Amino acid sequence: MSTATTQKWICESCGFIYDPADGDPDGGIPAGTA
């Protein structure tokens, strides 16, 4: 069995953490968007 991992992106200015697996519902970005 293999598991997929995603890379999280962190904005150094505001501290926002973006995880492509979760998307950004508040920003209108669906889950799975890299």
- Domains present along the chain, CATH in parentheses: 1-33 (2.20.28.10)
Model pLDDT, residue 6: 72
Model pLDDT, residue 3: 66
What DSSP state is assigned to residue 18?
E
pLDDT digits (tens, 9 = 90+) for 1-34: 556 677 999 999 999 999 999 999 999 999 999 8
In this prediction the pTM is 0.68
Model pLDDT, residue 1: 57
Instruction: Please give the structure tokens belonging to residue 32.
Output: 């799975």
C-alpha–C-alpha distance, residues 21 and 34, integer Å: 8
Q: Which of 34, 2, 4 shows the shortest CA–CA distance to 18?
A: 34
Instruction: Please give the structure tokens belonging to residue 8.
Output: 């999280």
C-alpha–C-alpha distance, residues 25 and 2, integer Å: 28
